[in-house]
Amino acid sequence: MNRYKTVVATMIFVGLAALPMLAQSGGESTYKSKCAMCHAADGSASSPVGKMMKVPSFLTPAAKKTSTADYIAIVKNGKGKMPAYGGKLSDAEVKGVVAYIRTLQK
């Protein structure tokens, strides 16, 4: 019985450890399909559309200081020329995109 508990506990631990990677990969795929066209794959806004529309980079010191709550609000409600994604993405997808943006800022 103790061995069974150890195996179950290990499976749960490994499964929980994989959750951030799953969230990141979900955020990454959503970012690539919805955001990268303007913000570029690396968040630099150096894509042709990003340059043309003067999209802000996620890599500036000011962007890095932007709160997660502010980024979530921007994704949901839009800002400037950026459309609102609140009706197109679930809360989990929005949070995943913001989490992925944070990985680009490191």
Continuous segment of H or E residues that includes residue 66? none
Q: Provide CB contacts within 8 A for 1, sequence distance 6+.
A: none
Q: Is 82 helix (H, G, I), strand (E, B) or coil?
A: strand
Residue 3 placed within a domain: no
Q: Report the pLDDT value the prediction gives residue 70, as an integer from 0 to 100.
A: 98
CATH code of 58's domain: 1.10.760.10
Distance CA 27, CA 57 (A): 18
Mean pLDDT of all residues belonging to the chain = 86
**Mind listing the pLDDT tens digit for each residue in 59-101?**
999 999 999 999 999 999 999 999 999 999 999 999 999 999 9
The CA-atom distances, in angstroms, between 26 and each of 4, 65, 70, 88, 106 are 32, 24, 20, 15, 18
Residue 100 placed within a domain: yes
Domain extent for 66: 25-104
Residue 97 placed within a domain: yes
Number of domains the chain is built from: 1
Q: Is residue 26 predicted with pLDDT exceeding 90?
A: no
